[in-house]
A and B are shown apart, each in its own frame.
Chain A
Amino acid sequence: MSSSSLPPNPDPVLNVSITPELIEKHGLQPEEYDHIVQTLGREPTLTELGIFSVMWSEHCSYKNSKPLLKTFPVEKKDTSRGYGQVMVKAGEENAGVIDIGGGWAICFKIESHNHPSAVEPFEGAATGVGGIIRDIFTMGARPVLLTNSLRFGDLEDATVKRLFRGVVAGISHYGNCMGIPTVGGDVVFDESYEGNPLVNALCLGILRHDQLQKGAATGVGNPVYYVGAATGRDGLGGASFASRELTEESQADRPAVQKGDPFMEKLLLEACLEMMAIPGLVVGIQDMGAAGLTCSTCETAGRGNAGIEIELDEVPQRETNMNSYEIMLSESQERMLVIVQKGREKEIEDVFAKWDLHAAKVGEVKEGDRMVVKQHGVTVADLPARFLTDEGPVYEREAKEPAYLAKTRAWKPEEIADLTKESLAEALPGLLGDPSIASKEWVYRQYDHMVGASTVVLPGSDAAVCRIRTGEGDKFVAIANDGIGRYCYLDPHRGGLIAMAECLRNLACSGAEPLAMTDNLNFGNPYKPEVFYTMKEAVKGLSDCCAAFDVPVVGGNVSLYNENHRGAIDPTPVISVVGLIEKEADITTQTVSAAGQKLLLLGGWPDEIGGSQYLQTVHGLKTGRAPEIDLAKEKAVHDLVRQVIREGRVEAAHDISDGGLLVAVAEMLFAEEQNFGATLEVASANPARWDALLFGESQGRILLAVDPAEEETVIAAAKAAGVAVESLGKVTAEPILSLQTGGSLDHSWEVEILRDIWSQRIGKAMSLPGLPS
């Protein structure tokens, strides 16, 4: 530990003494600052204070969420398969890596860009995509697919439309230009997200085991290279910006939002993969994402148990007279830090010259443990690297059950009238036209979801499926996203369980065996005990479900301080599970393909109405309890569905989720080039409440369409597996959805009308005057 002060900074503006106001402005608690002074044995310089402010922000340090994240299972217990083992665990590197067999692996992660997107939707969303792509190719993987989970306020609101349009355009701009298909995702509209939209982007890449790269600086004397775009003043302090509540004044924080250049990133991607393909050249590599040059230097040094020294004069800069504070805290995009073998400098320089990119030697790996930053030869920061990365503050925040829960739990279905013939007739089109349920075609048609020529199941089904070309035969990965804030608001523990279970159910419907999960925890201010309670409970739910299904968590992101003028957003853990399908023939989608196919319901008749989209859309109520969930039963249903899919007995599979049974059946009838009809016989359900049967969201339910010749076999298989099975009806060529209740509620809907409502809803809301839709 050095207790002598550093020399004055070359920029006199930075030579100020650190006041309590400056400490607060940098988002540090007084006790955190005291800890810094004690460890350094001196006051930090302003540049150093800036470094601490980003490294110890929630975004980089997870200081308020670490104790919860530690409860996630991070390894797969079942080692009997030839794939599925975790090669790089959550938190070890930029993204987790999973073995998919045959010497190949996948690498994936989700990350949020909520706050930037709230103030500058296009660039905020675009750079969110750019950031997560870098996290993946940093690991040596070629990115092959993107997905995203979006949450907005009420679609009728003009500001919401502006944010929605901008976010979708930003994702489209970045992903399309990169040539990485955006194959799936989900979008939910709820007033809880007004003013604080959620923009969570996921990227998945593939690599051979021997291509795996690590973000560690090792080998004293090895040169440290800066590659990619030049550094500007954009995105200053973005990580600390993301770790604050948004306020009216947040618009003034627009300089904290970065600007993306997907073309630059495409070049950087190709150049980095080319460089990493040269045997033994790269020692360590790390992207400059949140906290830019700061984070990449201290994290590589921290992981490598080494020191690192850089000279800022060597950093490519696109603005003049940038001082050390600005250069270290800039979040300019499309930059990477690479440590290569000493003596092989020409090899990296040649690759980057081919792609017309900067590759500047900015420093080298040193003995010891310090991160030393110089400018014009003057030391401007000299800090113990691991103190920044591993010894930041960690807090166990106080948790307190929110008062509203007693009220919502006490809600009884008797408080609303059951369906009548008239209300039933209106409810189905009403739900199909709810923007959260309606077709998201307006969104995904703006994303190039077919580039790569490997998308097997296009957006719009339960899970997206992509072919992975390994050179030794194809593999198929399936990916599903979920996370219903409404359930987590009403019961955070169940909400967590359901988010995970529904994702797994979606994968089962596609024919996939789950591999691993990545999560993005979107919550409000953790200093509010009620908010922290919901986070703690939701994480427990996710964790319990992961453990029950033996699906490890391989990484993710935490986004806190998501608040608007009404308070915290609905607690929204967004998760994605990736699965593997071994045979192309097993890939299953949700739409029926021929008249005469039989519809079967697995898991029993739905019988709960609490927390449903029906209550929210039709009755304007977000109340009751989230549906019950029985993990053993859930697993039995998934296993059965995969089994009958592999036996070749299933034409279509779709889970019952938002909107319930009738919505799920209707969605199965909307085939790509044709509308089918169906006759449904539900009299035998003899329900206590019709709304709960037809629109309730009881968990663990899956609808299958099977060929008539397979019906008996599938029913027998279900009985053998102990899974409840009901014959629901059959698919018809005439596009009429006919519901037979054995009584006065019988009703028929024209499928073409239902489909128009469902498919046009969002496009109509977003149409611009005078332009074709």
Chain B
Amino acid sequence: MKVGVLQFPGSNCDQDSLHAFATVLGVPARLVWHKEESLEGLDLVVVPGGFSYGDYLRCGAIARFSPVMKALKAYAGAGGMVVGICNGFQILCEAGLLPGALIRNDCLEFRCETVNLTLAARREAWQASLGANPLRIPVAHGEGNYRIDEAGLAELEANDQILFRYADRPAAIERRGNPNGSLSDIAGICNREGTVIGMMPHPERAVESFHPSRDGLPILQTLLKLAGHR
């Protein structure tokens, strides 16, 4: 098992993702510079969070042209396991590896908080590891408002591609569960095969004793399990 974490100019969750896999979970992992052209030998590719190329245009709009993206498309096309987190999710949508788009949060502000997340998909591997309880996972983004047209949404639902949804917060705390106004409270999706995953929340920020929770661990472990079964 080997995990690769892509590194674009402006990526800033690359080290956190590497730490979560390599140090916390003890899985061999390495950084992959955006100018590399091959992803050979990797079992799971993480497209990490950050501000690739500054994201002064649409988030991910420039990163999709990086040399490594050609390799990533080939890798995903061959059934390779890919997860895009936050900016990584945006990049995967821009690159056409996932449907839909992520636009500015409806509050027009950056949001960093810990959200409640529920598993929305009936997919077996995920059901087995996460179950029904809400997970507490941090988010930190300005553009996480997921949008897709009606037909696209129907297709996501029909193919069980909606992986995570934002859930409500405890009634006593006046704060809405969905931090960005995303369609149908979508927080994460996957392709039909379940091999390319995009999510706004940061599981790598919920893996250690002092984090808001350790609910990111079963998410990362499920990714590794799916990658291993390929």
A-B contact pairs, 10 of them (CB 8 A): A262-B54, A266-B12, A356-B9, A449-B112, A450-B112, A451-B205, A755-B172, A772-B107, A772-B181, A773-B107
| Closest B residue, CB atoms, query A165 | B109
Q: Which residues of chain B (158-196) have a CB below 8 Å from chain A?
A: 170, 172-174, 176, 181
Q: Is A712 an interface residue (CB 8 A)?
A: no
Q: Which 5 A-B pairs have the closest CB atoms?
A: A179-B12, A263-B54, A453-B16, A448-B140, A456-B210
Question: A449 vs B111: C-alpha distance in the bound complex, in angstroms?
Answer: 10
Contact of A453 among B111, B174, B176, B207 (CB under 8 A): B207
Question: A511 vs B15: C-alpha distance in the bound complex, in angstroms?
Answer: 28
Give the residues in chain A near B140, CB-CB below 8 Å. Answer: 176, 448, 450-451
Q: Is A415 an interface residue (CB 8 A)?
A: no
Contact of A263 among B53, B202, B209 (CB under 8 A): B53
Q: Is A759 an interface residue (CB 8 A)?
A: yes
Q: Could you tell me if B176 and A450 are in contact, using CB atoms closer than 8 angstroms? A: no
Q: Could you tell me if A177 and B20 are in contact, using CB atoms closer than 8 angstroms? A: no
Give the residues in chain B near A772, CB-CB below 8 Å. Answer: 106-107, 176, 181
Q: Could you tell me if B210 and A176 are in contact, using CB atoms closer than 8 angstroms? A: no
Give the residues in chain A near B146, CB-CB below 8 Å. Answer: none
Give the residues in chain A near B138, CB-CB below 8 Å. Answer: 450
Q: Is A267 an interface residue (CB 8 A)?
A: yes
Q: Known: A453-B20, A773-B107. Is A263-B210 also a contact (CB below 8 A)? A: no
Report A165-179 CB contacts with B as 1/0, cut-off 8 Å. 000010010001111
Q: Is B51 an interface residue (CB 8 A)?
A: yes
Task: Say how far B154's CB is from chain A's closest CB, in angstroms.
Answer: 26
Task: Say how far B221's CB is from chain A's closest CB, in angstroms.
Answer: 17
Give the residues in chain A near B111, CB-CB below 8 Å. Answer: 445-446
| Closest A residue, CB atoms, query B181 | A772
Chain B residues touching A, majority SS: loop
Q: Could you tell me if B112 and A179 are in contact, using CB atoms closer than 8 angstroms? A: no
| Closest A residue, CB atoms, query B9 | A267
Q: Which residues of chain B (81-130) have a CB below 8 Å from chain A?
A: 106-113
Task: Say how far B25's CB is from chain A's closest CB, in angstroms.
Answer: 13
Give the residues in chain B near A587, CB-CB below 8 Å. Answer: 210
Q: Could you tell me if B172 and A735 are in contact, using CB atoms closer than 8 angstroms? A: yes
Contact of B10 among A266, A444, A445, A456 (CB under 8 A): A266
Give the residues in chain B near A453, CB-CB below 8 Å. Answer: 16, 19-20, 204-205, 207-208, 211
Question: A445 vs B49: C-alpha distance in the bound complex, in angstroms?
Answer: 17
Contact of A674 among B10, B113, B172, B174 (CB under 8 A): B172
Size of the B side of the interface (Cβ < 8 Å), in residues, is 41
Contact of B112 among A169, A445, A584, A735 (CB under 8 A): A445
Q: Is B29 an interface residue (CB 8 A)?
A: no
Report A245-262 CB contacts with B as 1/0, cut-off 8 Å. 000000000000000011
Q: Is A355 an interface residue (CB 8 A)?
A: yes
Q: Could you tell me if A448 and B110 are in contact, using CB atoms closer than 8 angstroms? A: yes
Q: Could you tell me if B56 and A263 are in contact, using CB atoms closer than 8 angstroms? A: yes
Give the residues in chain A near B15, CB-CB below 8 Å. Answer: 452
Give the residues in chain A near B69, CB-CB below 8 Å. Answer: none
Report A749-773 CB contacts with B as 1/0, cut-off 8 Å. 0001001100110000000100111
Q: Is B50 an interface residue (CB 8 A)?
A: yes
Q: Is B6 an interface residue (CB 8 A)?
A: no
| Closest B residue, CB atoms, query A176 | B110
Question: A768 vs B16: C-alpha distance in the bound complex, in angstroms?
Answer: 34
Q: Is B13 an interface residue (CB 8 A)?
A: yes
Q: Could you tell me if B16 and A452 are in contact, using CB atoms closer than 8 angstroms? A: yes
Question: A264 vs B56: C-alpha distance in the bound complex, in angstroms?
Answer: 12
Task: Say how far B130's CB is from chain A's closest CB, in angstroms.
Answer: 20
Give the residues in chain A near B55, CB-CB below 8 Å. Answer: 177, 263
Q: Known: A172-B110, A450-B205, A771-B106. Is A266-B210 also a contact (CB below 8 A)? A: no
| Closest B residue, CB atoms, query A357 | B9
| Closest B residue, CB atoms, query A466 | B210
Question: A584 vs B20: C-alpha distance in the bound complex, in angstroms?
Answer: 19
Q: Could you tell me if A584 and B110 are in contact, using CB atoms closer than 8 angstroms? A: no
Q: Which residues of chain A (154-173) have a CB below 8 Å from chain B?
A: 169, 172
Give the residues in chain A near B19, CB-CB below 8 Å. Answer: 453, 469
Question: A104 vs B116: C-alpha distance in the bound complex, in angstroms?
Answer: 37
Task: Say how far B214's CB is from chain A's closest CB, in angstroms.
Answer: 12
Q: Could you tell me if A262 and B112 are in contact, using CB atoms closer than 8 angstroms? A: no
